[in-house]
Amino acid sequence: MQTPLSGEVADAVSGNWVDRLAPARWRPYLRLSRADRPAGTWLLLIPCWWALAMAAAADPAGSGLFDLWILVGSAVGAFLMRGAGCTWNDLTDRKIDASVARTRSRPLPSGQVTPRQAVIWMAAQMAVAALILLTLGPVAIVLGLVSLGPVAIYPFAKRFTWWPQVFLGIAFNWGVWVIWAAHGSPLGWGTAMLYLSGLVWTLFYDTIYAHQDKEDDALIGVKSTARLFGRATAHWLLAFLILSAGLMAAAALAVLSGASLVLGLLAAAVFAGHMAWQMHALDIDDPDRCLTLFRSNRDAGLLAALFLAGAALV
């Protein structure tokens, strides 16, 4: 895989808006934030929307119109914090990224952005995200600040554990706690099971993602579940599928009733069905297929969110 011309990143979505429409001077920074690859923003946002929908279904008399702000604010916050997290990840990984075919075209290893500029960009994104967090109430604010710990640790995890995807899952699904608290509902077993459902889902989709880089990772000594599982990947993915969908169903059983419960269980069923389709289509030795299926998890998560939103509306 060669470094693309004009600064485009190798694994960006073809014809993305950053490469086509963004002002030239902003493109390296938007690429650093993965704005040209929106799948990660969706995967950070979707558990937030799950939590909002399930909390609203469990407590219809909760936040009312404030839920509309949570819906929008979480979307903007996910874009900003995913951008800040990717910037931090690329700062810590810039030497590793320069050694991997898929990542050497990223702004830092390719020289489009200096480390100092990246730090300033990261701080700016975090500052705007903090303004949104401050509107969500004291419990949500504290939980949001706690999330910075796993975000900071994640880029280093692949250096000391075969399970770096666990640290990604901890960070990427923390919005379940934040948004549930922002809605004003008590945190409980339902919250915990929905959070764990998202965490296990992250193990599922990021194992697929990691199979793109397994050969380069082996050469430079980077650990991942893709390398750990190898040819047994399908068995592990099936276990993650069952556990993630089961935990979502358990969360629904813990907090919902009546028609809302039916829709909550349907959310878990369609979620499981989409992951089963991914497993059927997967070829772990085809990097392009792995990337396509990884991106398709946006649809898996949104299908579940749609049914959970229905549970909040019945």
**1 within a domain of the structure (yes/no):** no
Is 116 inside a domain boundary? yes
Tell me whether residue 207 is in a domain.
Answer: yes
Number of domains in the chain: 1
Which domain does 49 fall in, by range? 21-313
Q: Which pLDDT tens digit goes with each residue over 84-120?
A: 999 998 999 888 777 777 778 888 888 889 999 999 9
What is the sign, positive or negative, of the torsion defined by CA atoms of 135, 140, 144, 145?
Answer: positive
Residue 178 corresponds to which tokens in the numbers above? 């934040």
Residue 94 falls within a domain, yes or no?
yes
Asked, for residue 8, whether it belongs to a domain, the answer is no
pLDDT, tens digit, 9 for 90 and up, residues 132-161:
999 999 999 999 999 999 999 998 999 999
124 occurs within a structural domain: yes
d(Cα 178, Cα 146) in Å, to the nearest integer? 10
Render pLDDT for 44-57 as a digit per residue (tens, 0 to 9): 999 999 999 999 99
Task: Return the top range by mean pLDDT from 10-24, 147-161, 289-303.
Answer: 289-303
pLDDT over threshold 50, residue 301: yes
Q: What is the mean pLDDT of residues 114-134?
A: 96
Which residues, at least 6 apart from 16, have a Cβ–Cβ distance to it below 8 Å? Answer: 35, 36, 37, 38
**In terms of C-beta density within 10 A (0-12 exposed, 13-18 middle, 19 or more buried), how is residue 53 classed?**
buried
Q: How would residue 5 be classed by pLDDT, with cut points 50, 70 and 90?
A: very low
Measuring CA to CA, how many Å separate 104 from each of 4, 109, 115, 139, 184?
Answer: 10, 6, 15, 40, 44
Residue 199 domain-assigned (yes or no): yes
State CA 253 to chain mean position distance: 25
Q: Which pLDDT does position 217 carry in this prediction?
A: 85
Residues near 60 by beta carbon (within 8 Å), at least 6 away in sequence = 312
Q: For 172-190, what is each residue's pLDDT tens digit?
A: 999 999 999 999 988 999 9
Give the Cβ contact number of residue 171 at 10 Å.
23
User: 0.85 exceeded by the pTM?
Assistant: yes
Q: Is there a domain that residue 58 lies in?
A: yes
What CATH number has the domain bearing residue 94? 1.10.357.140
